[in-house]
Chains A and B, each alone.
Chain A
């Protein structure tokens, strides 16, 4: 009678059955939790990449529009630019409305911002810092040419990460109208 009570209870599970099944259940739950958290991490990273890309893309598009309209006279519909400006566009670029994002920035050529959750939920807590660094140069390595191309290097920092995300070269449309 005792033996049958240990190994098998007539109206329920037996002890061995219970132990095994509980262990199995615990394993499955652990696996589920582990992989769920892994999945969340993957999704977070995936969303982070996508959101940073979009944030940078938005920034680039904004700058592209302002690069295009630099020195453009809407009334006469021509680009008004003098030769001194043509030689170096740095000053014009750093004075663009979209360029200056960080009033406290020590170096005007480096602008950083922390996008908030209104841009993407993944940015909640403003844990991600994006910086763009301006490097003006001539189209090729030649000192006699105008400093007309702006290389923008985007750096992204979050947690322990510090990544050189992307680089792009932009140029003011007005440069094509220099005489």
Chain B
């Protein structure tokens, strides 16, 4: 009360006396509020700076994480396969996008591809990475473990500095990485969390959640370029390759790969790769320079065609070459690029020759619907302009195969049953119950047989062969005799044995102009099966090579039971007894005699060998020059045979991308390719033709998105 009274007095003090305390108090309160405010704001500023620092640390952590994973997956070490992790999905346990923690082995991941699977059960597609690795390479399981650690552990950043106090540790957690795209290119989307962690606490003080999208591209370097590619679809497996004694020049220093398009279940299936490829005697680039790469890579689409001219079936016997405007001699007709559509090319027998002239500014594409047969003395002469045979450059000639049927039953494959090599027919189901016209999908695919690349060692066959369904064969026949076809018109037999669809066939009249004359026909055994060229399979009931076509031109020798009414025969070499035989046959038409059949290069008929008996088969012995037995019979059927020099060296240059690549173990076979060839091929057909084993690399960062949450 007294105080109030005094206060009352003070407030009512109207004289000159004063009291300073209230004023000081008021000033004090003012100063306190002001100073406190300033203090609060500066503390706020300090807290902000500290938080900013922690954010900076967290951002640096996430950036470091991205750098680290990019550097790891981009590592080029030839013994490592980390780059394939760009194209698979990886999940940590923190990821809400994945049902479980998963860091796969890329070789166990597949590209979906119905064309590759071709209706095969349990086919998962094409393997994203090779499962085979060389001796000095790190097994997949190790790589998986290392990548898994990145996704499961918290990854610390930085090294502890001596005498320096560290307030915050830094770390990053990889949440997931997901690939969107194709085998060639795409985007890898990475979720990552950068952390700042106080050294004196287990709690995180700041985190930086990011989604980072990195553009991923595939590249094929010189050593990855596929100068040989084999395998069409999943069912081919190892049957698509027989390397034999192929030598890749210049030996071990060559850079380039043999791409074997095949899925394998485990590394145990790989074994010794050269043995697997039936190439114990082969010399191929070592692993660092390419070598043998087993992975079903997707192939580029066929090259684009310009200035297409249809010239039908090309049969290049000596007489046909001599004709005016023969299609056996081709050039680009003054065009930079010219395409010839050809149903089949046959240059088989002595002095048969198919000739083509190209230049850097006069390139040629041969679009082949059916088969090519360059064998038994026939040659494929590729010139550079007017220069000699064998001077043509591989990069100026592309041979493109466009098979019209889709074999479902009898499939061509390499013969791997023994060291002989060559081809065989998988299944080789007989043609008993067939309709007319034939469902041509019951026939095997087309083939390219070349057993001779020129007499001179300098001569070579040089081209880029693109035939995803084609069987490439280079195999010498067992018989040394070849038929001389209309060389000097000594008789009226103008028939020609050819190799079509990897099997023996014939053309009735090589000089004829009618459809019926120039159709190819296939030869069947008495039990109605096709006879694969060379016929090297073990346990083969009909161990034949068909080497000649005969047409009766005079009476037959009397002292035999051989059917006198027969008009045509085949000359057969029986490999089991090394004897020659004449054998009768019956014709069964299987396709209509129309232009459409010819354009699709379908066979007109089956020639079915009659069973071996005295009416149908004459044994001519082992010497066709024998005047007492062989000669009279051969003369009666207008068959002129000649012994051929065994040309032991075959030289190839360029690239061949086919379904089956079937060589033999005879003679010498050289394959040459160069960086110059690759560059010119790419400049002609496009960058997708720099094709082969791929390595992936993360390139530019195309999205850097800060997230609140990961889901």
Contact = CB atoms under 8 A, between A and B. Distances in A.
A161 B165 CA distance: 8
B67 A171 contact: yes
Contact of A49 (B15, B42, B49, B77): B49
Contacts of B699: 176
Contacts of B163: 162
Given A24-B25, A38-B39, A169 B76 contact: no
A179 interface: yes
A95 interface: no
A28 B21 CA distance: 12
A32 B63 contact: no
A145 B158 contact: no
Contacts of A168: 60, 63-64, 157
Contact of A9 (B17, B23, B67): B17
Contacts of A12: 16-18
Interface string B118-160: 0000000000000000000010000000100110000001111
Interface string B158-198: 11110111110010000000000000000000000000000
B262 to A, nearest CB: 25
A157 to B, nearest CB: 8
A171 to B, nearest CB: 4
A163 to B, nearest CB: 6
Interface in B73-114: 74-77, 79-80
A4 to B, nearest CB: 10
Interface in A29-73: 29, 31-32, 35-36, 38-40, 42-43, 45-47, 49-50, 53, 56-57, 60
B42 A166 contact: no
Contact of B697 (A149, A155, A169, A177): A177
Contact of A18 (B16, B20, B43): B20
A39 B42 contact: yes
B157 A151 contact: yes
A32 B34 CA distance: 9
A20 B163 CA distance: 52
A176 B28 contact: no
Contacts of B74: 148, 175-176, 178
Interface residues of A, number: 65
Contacts of A25: 24, 27-28
Contact of A139 (B27, B72, B158, B167): B72
Nearest to A34: B35
Interface string A2-21: 00000011111110011011
Interface string B192-232: 00000000000000000000000000010100000000000
B52 interface: yes
B19 interface: yes
A128 to B, nearest CB: 14
B24 A179 contact: no
Given A36-B35, A146-B76, A170-B67, A164 B161 contact: yes
Contacts of A86: 76
Nearest to B166: A164
B76 A31 contact: no
Contact of A144 (B63, B79, B167): B79
Contacts of B45: 42-43, 46
Contacts of B150: 140
Contacts of B63: 168-169
A169 B64 contact: yes
Interface in B369-390: none
B165 A49 contact: no
Given A53-B52, A86-B76, A162-B165, A140 B42 contact: no
A11 B157 contact: no
Contacts of B31: 28-29, 31-32
Given A49-B52, A50-B49, A50-B52, A169 B68 contact: yes
A53 B20 contact: no
B413 interface: no
B466 to A, nearest CB: 26
Contacts of B46: 42-43, 45-46, 49
A33 B146 CA distance: 60
A144 B77 CA distance: 8
Given A39-B38, A49-B50, A145-B75, A13 B19 contact: yes
Contact of B70 (A31, A133, A171): A171
B582 interface: no
A75 interface: no
A80 to B, nearest CB: 14
Nearest to A47: B49
Contacts, number: 185
B512 interface: no
Contacts of A14: 19
Most chain-B CB neighbours within 10 Å: which of A53, A163, A176?
A176
A167 interface: yes
A179 B221 contact: yes
Nearest to B165: A163
Contacts of A140: 68, 72, 146, 149-150
B71 interface: yes
A105 interface: no
Given A10-B16, A167-B158, A149 B21 contact: no
A145 B80 contact: yes
B57 interface: yes
A145 B159 contact: no
A27 B107 CA distance: 79
A4 B77 CA distance: 101
Contacts of B170: 166-167
A57 B18 CA distance: 61
A161 to B, nearest CB: 8
A124 interface: no
Contacts of A35: 35-36, 38-39
B60 A166 contact: yes
Nearest to B149: A140
Contacts of A11: 16-17
Nearest to B35: A35
Q: Which of A14, A56, A149, A168 has the most CB of B within 10 A?
A: A168
Interface string B690-711: 0000000111000000000000
Contact of A57 (B16, B36, B56, B77): B56
B528 interface: no
A113 B439 CA distance: 83
B361 interface: no
Contacts of B698: 176
Interface string A72-95: 000000000001001000000000
B19 A17 contact: yes
A163 B166 CA distance: 6
Nearest to A10: B17
Nearest to B51: A49
Nearest to A163: B165
A176 B697 contact: yes
A10 B158 CA distance: 76
A169 to B, nearest CB: 4
29 contacts: A10-B17, A12-B18, A13-B20, A21-B20, A31-B35, A35-B35, A39-B38, A42-B43, A49-B49, A50-B52, A53-B56, A139-B71, A139-B75, A144-B77, A144-B138, A145-B77, A146-B77, A151-B64, A153-B161, A162-B163, A162-B164, A168-B63, A171-B68, A171-B70, A171-B71, A175-B71, A176-B74, A176-B698, A176-B699
Given A24-B28, A144-B138, A155-B161, 4 more contacts: A10-B15, A17-B18, A56-B56, A167-B60
Interface of A: 8-14, 17-18, 20-21, 24-25, 27-29, 31-32, 35-36, 38-40, 42-43, 45-47, 49-50, 53, 56-57, 60, 83, 86, 133, 135, 138-140, 142, 144-146, 148-149, 151, 153, 155, 161-164, 166-171, 175-179
The 6 closest A-B pairs by CB, nearest first: A167-B158, A139-B72, A169-B64, A21-B20, A178-B76, A164-B166
